[in-house]
Each structure stands twice: as structure tokens, then as C-alpha cells.
Structure 1
Amino acid sequence: MLRFLDAGESHGKALVAILDGIPSNFIVDIDYINNELKRRQVGYGRGERMKIEEDRVEIISGLRGNKTTGNPITMLIYNKDYEKWKDIINREPEEEEKITIPRPGHGDLVGYFKYGSGDIRDSIERTSARETAIRTAVGALCKAMLLEIGIDIRSKVHSIGNNHDEVADIFDNEVYEEINKSLVRCYSKEAEENFKKIIDICKEEGETIGGSIQLSIKGVPMGIGSYSQWDRKLDGILSYGIMSLQGVKAIEFGNGLDLSLKGSTFNDEILYKEGKFVRPTNNCGGIEAGVSNGENIDIKVFIKPIPSIKKSIRTVDLKTKEEKSTRYERSDVSAVVPASIVLENLVAFYILREMLLKFPSDQFMDFKRAVEIFDGRDN
């Protein structure tokens, strides 16, 4: 079973993860992982923190040379901002230093009451989206392995606020190159200008803005996941992972939210061409009854506005119970662009885990061969 745990705080010394279950003899490209971390850090609407951190992963176990050994893989990302915060992080806070004014929409209030530390700082440090750096590193290793067996995961920004980008084939390499050149990761130049404009307006107003992301997974063979038990359904598993990402509030598979479609038009017709079952449409998003059907797994992910805002809204001091204006912590104006990169790598972990459940192997070449044999069989 592929699994991982991560730990670390936003301003702590480092973020760390232990990834267990990766087959042996897979060649790990550290530069590929670091490039995914770099992709996560850039984008229009990013805050000052990204000017401080230059994330690079260090792998301290599970490799010999650049090959996996089959042992647990330990990853580290050091926080450069730790030097400025270590005095605060490494001691008990004085009473007057404790944060007791929660930001609505964040984990401040619920964390304060759940763990009873008397200081919101403890919740802030762990609920921060800084944690997504180490999850991106874990996912990037998984994503690289998936590419080796013919599974590609790509994304683009679909909307910022009420402004939408046009539909584009993100598996067309020329199209995807243009998307990756864009600071807001969209295809249409008109949409790019609209996205930048609304982010600029929000920054001036002390606001933040959400949006949506088009996420697509190509190459997953038919038969991954299961309907035999409720907790084995592939769309359920992916939903669980995606919804665990900070800021995600809703997801859609295929055209599941298009209420104009009737049964005869929503259900994807089944054809047989050139030795394969194919679909002329993909309204279901590549998954039927919790099982992949061989089409692209298409998901739209909706990201809420970041809760750390400069604009004043009401909250309460948890100590005095007096009404206060919300407090502000340094943050981005929009998290949609970096979230698209995090999501690519986040879902890679779950897809690889399901592939390894289908084709359990201790060595990477055995895993790759099993997938190739399965893909080459007669339908």
C-alpha cells in the first residue's frame, strides 16, 4: 500500500514527509521534483512569502544513488523564513503574545477550541497552505513514475472570479506550452488580461479572489478503482484527496453540473473502433460506477477566496468576547494559480496508489511490464 505522512509548520525549521511503498529501482530525477516546486511558487497574485522561499527538496532515505531501494523515502524542505521566526516558534508565548482574534474562514477558531492551546498561532502554523510544498514534492515523485507508464496529468486555470478562460486541449503540447507561459496559467490572451485585472483590483481593495481549475488525467487504463465497496470507488478516492487541499470547496467530474443535459445526451455512448472501446463524449469524466473507463479523467476544482484579507470584517476576541475587526496575516491575493500545480501532484499520489493496488510490484520494471501487458490485451 502506497502511503505517506507529512509534518511541519509554516514557520518551523522544515517540512518533512515519509513516503512508503514506492517500488525499487525507479530512477528519481531530483530536478524534476524541484521544478514542480518552482512551478508551485510562481504565478500572478502570489504574496511576499514566495520572494523569501526557494523550495528545494532533500531526500535523506530510500535512495541509493538516484534509484529507489524499496525502503521508505524521507523528504525534507527547509523553511528559509524559520530564521526570523525561531525565537517565537521555539518557546512558550507570553500571555500578551498569544493570538486570540480568529480570521473568519480559516482554521483559527476551530483549532483554538479543538486543541485548547490558548494561542491561535498553533493552528495557523499547521493549517497554512505552506504545507502543500511537501505534498507537491511527494506527488512529483509519483507523477514522474506515472509518466514512465504513460499516465500524464495536466491542468489549467478555468476561471478567476466570474471571468472564464476558453476550453482548450491541454494535451496538445503547443497549447500546454502557452498555458505554462501564462502567469495565470490560462490559454486565452483576453482571459489572461481579465484575470490579471481582477487580481490587481482585489489587491488594491484589500480583497482576495477564488476561481476554478481544469484538471485532467490521461492514460489511466480501464478498470482502476472498484464498485465492490463504497470506499474503493476511484472518484470517491480522488474527491477525498482533492477536498483535503486547503481552499477547495467543490469539485465536478466531467459535465456533472450541467443540468441542461438529459439522460440520452449525458450518458457517453459506447463504440468499438480499431480494437478498442471508445466514447464520442466524456460527460462522466472518465469514471463510471467508481471505475476508470479508459477516457481522460476530467475534473473541475473550485477554490474559495483566501481567508486572510486586509479588508476589515467582523470577528470576536476569544479571550474578552468583544467584537473586533479581523486580523491580517501575510498572504496571496489568489491561490488559484499555485493550486493548479499542487493538484496535479496531489492526484498523482492517489492514481499511483490505485495503480499499485491493481499491479502490485516490488520492483519498478515489474510494475511497468504489468501495466504494459494489461494495456496491450484485447478488450
Structure 2
Amino acid sequence: MAGNSFGQIFKITTFGESHGEAIGVIIDGCPSNIEIDLDFIQNELDKRKPGQSKITTQRKESDTFQILSGIFEGKTTGTPIAIIIPNEDQKSKDYDHNKDTFRPSHADYTYQVKYGIRDHRGGGRSSARETAARVAAGAIAKLFLKQKGIDVLAHVSSVGNLDSPEIDFTSAEEFVTLRENNIVRCADAKTAEQMIELIDGIRKEGDTIGGKITCYIKNCPVGLGEPVFDKLHADLGKAMLSINAVHGFDYGSGFDGSTMRGSQHNDAFQSSESGKISTKTNFSGGVQGGISNGMDINMRIAFKPVATIMSNQNTVNKSGEAAEIKGKGRHDPCVVPRAVAIVEAMAALVIVDHYLRNQLYK
């Protein structure tokens, strides 16, 4: 199976299935002498792990990771880093009902046709369980970016039709504090209460709901991104669209920009007394010509409702015969609270890779 690697210089390859022995990641191209904070990596994984609140799946995984190589005396050595995360709470019998039946809007049918075989236990390789490996790799990428003064910050900005207002914050620490004060990970407390009530009500109905995550990249230097096909926003879009359940991506003015005139949308340049160049507005979302311009990068990622619902749905089996299926087991009623860590991880991986690629021009 191809398509398991991401990045060019800072490159990751993930492996493992939802109900296998473990999942994991190999990181190649990580620079040496990065200080590795094990507690930070575990904290990032804890934000994504299942069973953390009443509005997430009740699968119980500690997501305790093991680093097998690439770290010596608390620092990266420049050699490949191998990380594994054992699976501890598999209940494969919960998926016996869909061994020969295709779940609507899942990868069951496409995997079966493409490969002629599929791991029906939780979706196997197509399960969002795989994203824990990305979060582990992303945590190391974030540690690298912290040394450069670059912050990657995300929060749940909408659930269904509930939208958070723009968040006004002065530091990364303040933003994280606001976000982590509630189980839905929305940085606006009032909206968070409404989101939690909505998700819990949807859960009790046996249904699911989608939402959006807004991500900011603060203090990104000028010059990241490669024309023509490796534009920074294109790689960020690919990274986000590779996450399970993501159905949409935009940045800067996004789709709203299509309703504006050029005279409204253009970001006028200005220069400070110190000679630093910036723009008065940021409809470009921090990227112009596919290259970062030094302004904050902002983007929004839309997640569809989780496909497994606890009510009967019409489908077909492997023989093409009509069938009926109902969700069983432990599933998220809304994926976005746990996906915040995944979005941050993928954004960090893109920025680190392009940061290192940009050093080739120095």
C-alpha cells in the first residue's frame, strides 16, 4: 500500500491498524540536537486519545508511546526516530456485523475493491486511530518550531451551525488556556457550553454531527513554500485533507474572497519605523504566490459528521445484495474536539518540512 509517507526532508511514515498490536511512525530527516520533552509529546497525544470525556468515544487507550531510536541523552541524533503506540483496548467483536457488509460513507467498499481484502476491525488502516502516530511526529515537529519561535495553535470554531466569534489573544499560552478550559476545545467559553450541549444531545439520539477547526501559525518567517506545485498553502491543504473525515479546507479570505472586489481584497503593504514590512490586512492568510509573507497564517478545516451512527441504514454486502446495518461499539458523536491535536500536528509537519527546504537557498 503506497501513500503512507508525508514530507520531503522532514519525512514521516506511519504504520499499523486500529485493532493490530500497535501503531507507529518513523521520522526521517529530523535535525540533530533538538531537545525532546517526553511529557510534551504525551500531553499532545492525550489531547487526541479516546475516552477523555462524555462527548468522545469511550474506547480506553492510554496512548503511551515508546521511542525506539533516534534519541540519545534527551536530544535527537539526526538518525531515524521510531515511535510505537501499543493498542490496549481493542474490541474486534464489535465489528463482526460488518465483516461482509459495507458501512455507508466508510472506506469499506473502496478498500475492498481496490485491494481485494480489508481489515474490517474498526476500519483497519483507514481508522482515525492511525492519526495518533501523526500527533507523536507532530509533537517533535512542534518542539523544533518552538526553538524558532513559531507557534501552531488550533481550536474548535464551529459545531453544526454554532460558530465561535473571532478569538482575541495575546500569547500562545493564553490561547491554549482558553481552549483547554472545556472538553470541546473551543477558545470561547460561551460558545463551548452550547457546543457541548449540542454534541451530547446528538450523542443521546444515536446520531453524529460535523464541525470546523480554525488553525493559526504565528511568527512564521517569510519565504516558506515552493513554486509551482509545492506552494505552502497547497501542502497545508493536502495535509489537512489527508485527515480522516475532513471534507473542506480554506485559508485567508477563503471562499468568502470570491465575493469581494480586488480593491477590497488586496493586502496593502506597510513598513514600520524599524523597516519591517507587513500588510494592513491579511486576506491572503499569510501566503502570497504560494510563499509565506510573514503575516499570521490562518486556515479553516471542515469535518463531516462521523459516518457510524446508532440507527439502521440501508446498504449492500460483498455480493451486492441489499442489506441493513446499524452502528455498534464506541464512536465519537463529533470528531472535532479530538481532531484539534491532529490539525496542529499536520500543520507543524508542513511548516518544519518547508523550513528545512528553505535552508537549501541560504
User: TM-score surpassing 0.5?
Assistant: yes
The separation in 1 between residues aligned to 2:121 and 2:191, in whole angstroms, is: 39
Is 1:255 aligned to residue 253 of structure 2? yes
Instruction: Tell me by how many angstroms 1:110 deviates.
Output: 0.6
Query: 1:45 maps to what in 2?
Result: 55
Q: 2:75 aligns with which of 55, 61, 67?
A: 67
Query: 1:244 maps to what in 2?
Result: 242
Structure 1 segments unaligned to the other structure (5+ residues)? 89-95, 362-369, 371-379
Q: Deviations over 1:267-313 (max 9, x none)?
A: 11111113111112111110011000000110001011010111222
What pairs up with 1:264-303 in 2 under 5 angstroms?
Answer: 264-273=263-272, 274-303=274-303
Give the AA of the match of 2:237.
S
Query: 1:334 maps to what in 2?
Result: 334
**Cα pair 2:221 2:294 within 8 Å, conserved:** yes
Query: 2:232 maps to what in 1?
Result: 234
Q: Deviations over 1:89-110 (max 9, x none)?
A: xxxxxxx987111111110111
**Cα pair 1:170 1:176 within 8 Å, conserved:** no
Q: 1:79 aligns with which of 76, 87, 92?
A: 87
**Cα pair 1:269 1:281 within 8 Å, conserved:** yes
SS in 2 for 1:76: strand
Give the AA of the match of 1:9.
E
Query: 2:168 maps to what in 1?
Result: 169
CA pair 325-60 structure 1, distance change in 2 beyond 3 A: closer
Instruction: Tell me by how many angstroms 1:175 deviates.
Output: 4.3
Hey, which of these two has a bigger chunk of helix by percent?
1
- Give every structure 1 segment of 4 or more consecutive aligned residues whose post-TM-superposition deviation is greater than 2 Å: 41-44, 169-176, 187-190, 325-330
What pairs up with 1:78-157 in 2 under 5 angstroms?
Answer: 78-82=86-90, 99-117=99-117, 121=120, 124-157=123-156
Instruction: Tell me by how many angstroms 1:14 deviates.
Output: 0.8
The separation in 2 between residues aligned to 1:11 and 1:285, in whole angstroms, is: 39
Query: 1:91 maps to what in 2?
Result: none
SS in 1 for 2:334: coil
**Cα pair 1:112 1:120 within 8 Å, conserved:** no
Q: Deviations over 1:155-210 (max 9, x none)?
A: 11110000111110355343441222121112333312210121122112110111
How large is the Cα RMSD of the aligned pairs?
Answer: 2.1
CA pair 188-98 structure 1, distance change in 2 beyond 3 A: closer
**Cα pair 2:35 2:143 within 8 Å, conserved:** no
Query: 2:219 maps to what in 1?
Result: 219
The separation in 2 between residues aligned to 1:48 and 1:294, in whole angstroms, is: 42
CA pair 120-109 structure 1, distance change in 2 beyond 3 A: farther
SS in 2 for 1:121: coil
Give the AA of the match of 2:18.
S
TM-score scaled by length of structure 1: 0.87
Give the AA of the match of 2:163.
H
| Max Rg structure | 1
Identical-pair percentage: 34
Instruction: Tell me by how many angstroms 1:322 deviates.
Output: 2.1
CA pair 116-308 structure 1, distance change in 2 beyond 3 A: same
The separation in 2 between residues aligned to 1:10 and 1:21, in whole angstroms, is: 27
Give the AA of the match of 2:62.
E
**Cα pair 1:179 1:187 within 8 Å, conserved:** yes
The separation in 2 between residues aligned to 1:24 and 1:107, in whole angstroms, is: 38
Query: 1:209 maps to what in 2?
Result: 209
Is 1:313 aligned to residue 313 of structure 2? yes
Query: 1:21 maps to what in 2?
Result: 29
SS in 1 for 2:180: helix
The separation in 1 between residues aligned to 2:21 and 2:331, in whole angstroms, is: 20
Report how many residues are paired: 348
**Cα pair 2:61 2:88 within 8 Å, conserved:** yes
CA pair 170-76 structure 1, distance change in 2 beyond 3 A: farther
The separation in 1 between residues aligned to 2:329 and 2:114, in whole angstroms, is: 21
The separation in 2 between residues aligned to 1:295 and 1:189, in whole angstroms, is: 27
Give the AA of the match of 2:70.
G
